[in-house]
């Protein structure tokens, strides 16, 4: 490996720094605005660091808005979606990986279908279906909708990962007398942590970010509102308390960013396991 010269090194680190600063500036701005006292917001030129940061904006939000409720709802939905999606995709991905099923190609089509399908179209009939089932206003409507959109891609990612596991392991387990379902849970899953982590991260991020499904199915019952809906409602048509909404945004982003920080390193592997070369 060539070692870089000093000016080369400086160039690389400088570029990396500049790029990161530019790309992450909005996040920085969110934090700054959240901490700014509201009278400082109406200043031009804007301040790049608040004079006296206000930390009680966070507790104010929790007290004033039903923010805690939004957070809990979003969390519940994300967890339920995660469990549902993972279960369905693990089984499907395993089947596709190990058994040369005739349905194999159609799954590829399903993935594309889920990616091509404008969710705004899907909610038209879905709303009618869920309404007739009495699920409108129930978070399970959102969970089912989200999970269904997630499953194709999750299946594809997991299948790519399972493909890298040697078939002989399952053959050995069969000879050892393990049941087919037992093989999945005792042999395959314990060694699939990277693939599972990547898929879980994907599930979580998509679910946490969802706005359309939540807004369509949960508008009517405020007690089921998610963070996305809540924050969108804080943006007024004419005026907005920007520091408050930024603080709420920050609090809404922290959990998912934390999950992201922990699981991100599995993502490249998870995608290249199934990626086209």
Using CB under 8 A, which residues numbered 212 to 241 contact other proteins?
Answer: 212, 216, 227-228, 231-232, 234-235, 240
Handedness of CA 145, 148, 153, 154 (dihedral sign): positive
CB 251 within 8 A of CB 65: no
Q: Could you tell me the smallest distance in angstroms from the CB atom of residue 52 to other proteins? A: 19
The SS3 call for residue 210 is: coil
Angle at 234 between CA 37 and CA 46, to 5 degrees: 35
CB 14 within 8 A of CB 22: no
Q: Pattern 57-86, binding to other proteins, x per CB under 8 A?
A: ------------------------------
The correct pick among 208, 217, 225, 266 for binding other proteins (CB under 8 A) is 208
37 or 103: CB nearest other proteins: 103
35 touches other proteins (CB under 8 A): no
Report residue 267: phi and psi, to 5°: -70, -45
Report H helices in 134-241: 139-163, 167-175, 180-182, 193-209, 212-218, 227-234
Q: Pattern 182-201, binding to other proteins, x per CB under 8 A?
A: x----x--xx----------
The SS3 call for residue 19 is: helix
Q: Could you tell me the smallest distance in angstroms from the CB atom of residue 243 to other proteins? A: 9
The correct pick among 39, 56, 132, 239 for binding other proteins (CB under 8 A) is 132
Stretch that binds other proteins, among 53-61, 63-71, 148-156 (CB under 8 A): 148-156
56 or 276: CB nearest other proteins: 276
């Amino acid at each position: 490996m060539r070692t870089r010269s000093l000016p080369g090194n400086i160039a690389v680190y400088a570029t990396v720094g500049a790029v990161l600063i530019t790309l992450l500036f909005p996040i920085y701005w969110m934090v700054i605005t959240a901490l700014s006292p509201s009278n400082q917001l109406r200043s031009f030129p804007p301040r790049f660091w608040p004079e006296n940061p206000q930390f009680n904006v966070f507790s104010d939000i929790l007290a004033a808005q039903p923010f805690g409720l939004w957070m809990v709802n979003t969390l519940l939905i994300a967890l339920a979606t995660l469990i549902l999606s993972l279960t369905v995709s693990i089984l499907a991905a395993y089947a596709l990986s190990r058994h040369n099923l005739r349905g194999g190609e159609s799954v590829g089509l399903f993935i594309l279908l889920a990616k091509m399908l404008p969710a705004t179209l899907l909610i038209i009939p879905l709303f009618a279906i869920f309404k007739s089932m009495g699920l409108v206003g129930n978070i399970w409507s959102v969970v089912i909708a989200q999970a269904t959109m997630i499953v194709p891609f999750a299946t594809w990612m997991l299948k790519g990962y399972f493909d890298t596991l040697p078939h002989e392991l399952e053959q050995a387990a069969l000879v050892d007398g393990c049941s087919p379902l037992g093989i999945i849970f005792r042999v395959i899953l314990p060694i699939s942590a990277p693939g599972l982590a990547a898929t879980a991260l994907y599930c979580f991020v998509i679910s946490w970010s969802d706005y359309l499904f939540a807004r369509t199915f949960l508008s009517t019952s405020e007690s089921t509102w998610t963070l996305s809906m809540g924050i969108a409602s804080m943006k007024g048509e004419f005026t907005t308390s920007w520091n408050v909404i930024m603080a709420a945004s920050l609090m809404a982003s922290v959990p998912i960013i934390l999950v992201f920080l922990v699981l991100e390193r599995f993502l490249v592997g998870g995608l290249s396991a199934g990626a086209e070369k």
